[in-house]
């Protein structure tokens, strides 16, 4: 006999839409950081570009994913 280990009525920590928006933001940030590093060979510039890419990506995907 198997037992259910989850409490009844528990909600997930993050909704599906939020998880997708954040995942796409992370992928956008990684892409921006990698491309910046490949062109400038500077880790600080790549980190700044990755942060800006993440923020812009989250804003963009939050807007278009309804």
pLDDT band at 4 (very low <50, low <70, confident <90, very high): low
Q: State pTM to two decimals.
A: 0.81
> For a pLDDT cut of 90, what percent of the chain falls above it?
80
Beta carbons of 52 and 28 less than 8 angstroms apart: no
Beta carbons of 34 and 46 less than 8 angstroms apart: yes
Stated length of the chain: 66
Question: Per-residue pLDDT for 3 more than 80?
Answer: no
41: left (phi over 0), alpha (psi -120 to 50) or beta: left
Q: Which residue has the tokens 């942060």?
A: 51
Residues 29-33, mean pLDDT to the nearest whole number: 98
CA angle centred on 28, ends 36 and 45, rounded to 5°: 25
């Amino acid at each position: 006999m198997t037992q259910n280990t989850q409490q009844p009525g528990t909600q997930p920590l993050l909704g599906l839409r939020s998880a997708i928006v954040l995942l796409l933001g992370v992928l956008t940030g990684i892409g921006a950081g990698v491309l910046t590093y490949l062109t400038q060979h500077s880790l600080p510039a790549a980190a700044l570009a990755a942060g800006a890419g993440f923020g812009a990506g989250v804003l963009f995907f939050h807007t278009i994913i309804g």
